[in-house]
Amino acid sequence: MKRAIPVLVLSVAGLIPVWRYAPSHDGGASSTVTEAAAPASTPSASSSGGTTSTVVSGSAIDTEKGPVQVEVTFDGQRIASVRMLRQPNHPQTTAAVPKLIEETLRAQSADIDTVSGATITSDGYKESLQAAIDAKG
């Protein structure tokens, strides 16, 4: 993760000129990051657009692991795919970096159909929420 962050940041930095090229900024920064990162692991997803698709190459950015350059395919105003034109030969750069949301842990009650939890044993079942749901019918 520590190594992934600078790579992600630089990948995004490489996207900025491309981004300015795009007529619309609708998605906002974070969703662009997500979309930019995701197709890096599936380069085959590119160039499926119709007549309105445009392919733009970002400028190469030097990182401590080597140069990074991306190519973005727009389907109209939407980013259809992002391809790494150049990337350091390092496993972290080939993985997509997902966006995780941080929250505080809450304890709640709710009307539910079933319960997911760590594998409950048959002995522990009697005391479980699922047993109460099954008994209620």
In the complex, the residues that contact another protein under the rule CB under 8 A are 1, 34, 41-42, 95-122, 124-125, 127-131, 133-134, 137
- Tokens 């030969």 correspond to 89
Q: In angstroms, what CA-CA distances link 49 with 22, 35, 46, 79? A: 16, 16, 8, 10
In the complex, minimum distance from the CB of residue 84 to another protein, in angstroms, rounded to a whole number: 16
Q: For residues 122 and 115, give the distance between their C-alpha atoms in angstroms, rounded to a whole number.
A: 15
Residue 51 vs 121, nearer CB to another protein:
121
Residue 9 vs 95, nearer CB to another protein:
95
In the complex, minimum distance from the CB of residue 137 to another protein, in angstroms, rounded to a whole number: 6
Residue 24 vs 108, nearer CB to another protein:
108
For the chain, the straight-line distance linking the first and the last C-alpha, in angstroms and rounded, comes to: 46
Neighbour count for residue 34 (Cβ, 10 Å): 14
In the complex, minimum distance from the CB of residue 6 to another protein, in angstroms, rounded to a whole number: 16
